[in-house]
Amino acid sequence: MADEIPAAGTPGGYGWAAPPSAPPPPPAALIPSGDGYSWRAEGGPAAPLTPASIHRAPARNQQRRGGLAGGVLAALAAAFKYGFVLLKFGKLSGTFISFGLSLLIYIGLFGWQFGLGALLLIAIHESGHMIFAHAQKLPVSSPFFLFGFGAVVTTRGFRDARQEAIVAIGGPVVGTAAALLCYAFALALPEGQTRYLFLALAYWGCLVNLFNLIPMSPLDGGRVASAVSKWANVAGIGVLVVLIGGYWASGANINPFLIIILLFGIFSTVGRFRSSHAGLDPPPLPSYVRTAIGLAYVAMLVISAVGMSAAHSTLLSHGIGQQVV
């Protein structure tokens, strides 16, 4: 394990901040009202349309579509024009370019406010891996964003499974803390669009980190839990199979990214057991170290789940959480 440089997005990859298979939309949609767009829940009361506003609506909608198309074209032109300038930043060029392209995807899916916030929460998750790696005096790459499928950082030189688990749990620790700060900030705001936005971001952030704690590589949870026992990865495969089966049984579309993670997880777990049978496993960690790692892992599971539930319950209490699943 020492001096190996895992490739990003492979079973040896590291710091994969994968979003859940079906990322939730903002809890309230931007619904056309008489004078523009306003936040309201699906099925909620709509603002009445006056005759004048009805006549103005097609023109305004056409202007909005034209403005959106113009904005996208301007962003692509800027990316082409300044992309070569970003290449001069060396190691950070991949981060800047992949972040910009991913941002366009997230904005297209969720709108600019929620899209930007969701991508920033993923970036903060990755910064957690970097902070903990630097604390362990390990080299670590800048994050590379996977165009709607999360982000990844790579590192090398782990001395043992304990050190790898510490760096792995750094992403969920920092990422969940950022999501909980969004929740606390939302509670301090009066009712309105900004409060609902931060509640939705809190829900999203906790969900992303909880998903990444599934105990199966290449997810963070697999690298943490496998330091306790190789059987944790088997449990992670079971969790993902149940998750995929749930989507299939409900008739929902199954994200192919889930299938890719499952295949990588099976491949890495089989390799781990083969190494163990061949006597190539490193010496097991002391029992007190494995206990500490296990407790930290369970604590992060509980904190992420409670934070996600609290944000969801608060959204429901406002009557705007029907679309958050």
For 67-83, what is each residue's pLDDT tens digit? Answer: 555 554 555 455 444 44
Is the predicted pLDDT of residue 169 greater than 80, yes or no?
yes
The answer to whether position 19 is within a domain reads: no
Domain coverage including residue 241: 29-34+62-317
The answer to whether position 110 is within a domain reads: yes
Is the predicted pLDDT of residue 25 greater than 80, yes or no?
no
Range in 48-57, 159-168, 210-219, 226-235 with the lowest mean pLDDT: 48-57
201 — pLDDT class (breaks 50, 70, 90): very high
Buried-exposed string 237-248: b where 16+ CB fall within 10 A, e elsewhere: beebeebbeeee
| Omega prior to 284 cis, within 30 of 0 | no
The answer to whether position 57 is within a domain reads: no
The answer to whether position 18 is within a domain reads: no
Residue 138 DSSP symbol: -
pLDDT average, residue stretch 32-54:
41
Number of domains in the chain: 1
C-alpha–C-alpha distance, residues 42 and 64, integer Å: 22
pLDDT in tens, 240-254: 888 888 888 888 777
pTM score of the predicted model:
0.70
The answer to whether position 20 is within a domain reads: no
Question: 4: which residues sit within 8 A by CB, 6+ positions away?
Answer: 12, 156
The answer to whether position 40 is within a domain reads: no
The answer to whether position 299 is within a domain reads: yes
- Asked whether the CA dihedral 246, 249, 251, 255 is positive or negative, the reply is positive
Pair of tokens at residue 144: 């590379």
The answer to whether position 322 is within a domain reads: no
